[in-house]
Amino acid sequence: MISLPVPVIDPAISVVNAIIYLLLAPFVGGLIAGIDRRVTARMQGRVGPPILQPFYDVGKLFEKENIVVTTTQNFYVLSYLVFMGAAGMLFFAGGDMLLVIFAFTLSHIFLVLGAYASFSPYSHVGAERELIQIIAYEPMIILTAVGMYMVTQSFFVSAIANSGIPIILYLPGVFIGYLIVLTIKLRKSPFDLSTSHHAHQEIVKGVTTDFSGPNLAKIEIAHWYEYVFLLGVVYLFFGFNPLIALAAIVVAYFLEILIDNTISRVKWQLTLRSAWLVAGTLGIVNLGVLFYLKGVLAP
């Protein structure tokens, strides 16, 4: 609603922010995963593992032999990790949100290709479910970027974050829709179709069935990068006040954990309907109302 100039981003600050994300995001994401497992255990009446357990698990995976079904899996897993890191680096460097989304989506395509490279039917089913999830959440993520552009007149993350505009007041429907697809992206019930970070999934591990050792560790680290990036988008809705934004991130993630532990997995058909009909409708209606108000209020 407020026109902002295209930001002049200090290249030095952008590089520093990108490097900070590259170095610290795995530690922050690993801590989030550890807290997630501990809170989940308490909700289920268990003590739970140490908060640092995800780091212990990844360390053990790196010590194992790198066994692959086909050598191309090494390339796909590395590409998945690299593009996931690149998406986050572009985001925290204040770059173009559309370019960030492109790198983010491309990273998951490499994960799907890695699963398809195996000859296991279980791995193929996991890959197909991962594709379904991409189809489900991608439109809502694009709507989120479009909504922020309509409010700030910029696709640059730096301009959105520094606009001082309470974006949540303009995009409440988009925010709710984003939280719905966030459940898909965090691989939590009821939408943990392709794989899950918890032991309550079936024995066969979906899209990661034929990954083990260092490759599985790289996938887990990529997930940690993804956690930080996805929660960073939540921050943008409340960026006008950093304290409120951090509180919103905590509440949003706790809500995701609560949903994960209270709702059982649904079929892929309901996942698509939830993402397209519910989240998509909320987002499109919100953008429609915003567009109408912008035309009415315009001089």
In a domain, 65, yes or no: yes
In a domain, 6, yes or no: no
Mean of pLDDT values over 180-199: 84
What pLDDT is attached to residue 9? 66
Domain residues for the domain of 210 are 11-297
In a domain, 1, yes or no: no
Q: What percent of the chain has pLDDT over 70?
A: 92
DSSP 6: P
Q: How confident is the model at residue 200 (pLDDT cuts 50, 70, 90)?
A: low
Give the 3-state secondary structure of residue 298.
coil
Q: Give tens-digit pLDDT for 268-281.
A: 888 888 898 999 99
In a domain, 254, yes or no: yes
In a domain, 41, yes or no: yes
What pLDDT is attached to residue 98? 94
Greater model confidence, 138 or 68 = 138
Q: Give tens-digit pLDDT for 114-146.
A: 999 888 888 888 899 899 999 999 999 999 999
Question: Residue 267 is encoded by which pair of tokens?
Answer: 């079929």
What pLDDT is attached to residue 270? 87
In a domain, 4, yes or no: no
In a domain, 95, yes or no: yes
Q: How confident is the model at residue 89 (pLDDT cuts 50, 70, 90)?
A: very high
Q: What percent of the chain has pLDDT over 90?
A: 67
Asked whether residue 187 carries a pLDDT value surpassing 60, the answer given is: yes
Report the alpha-carbon distance of residue 123 to residue 56 in Å, rounded.
Answer: 26
Q: How confident is the model at residue 168 (pLDDT cuts 50, 70, 90)?
A: very high
Number of compact structural domains in the chain: 1
Contacts of 292 (CB under 8 A, 6+ apart): none
In a domain, 5, yes or no: no
What pLDDT is attached to residue 93? 95
Listed in sequence order, the DSSP H helices in the chain are 11-43, 53-63, 72-92, 97-116, 121-152, 157-161, 167-170, 172-185, 213-237, 242-262, 268-273, 280-297
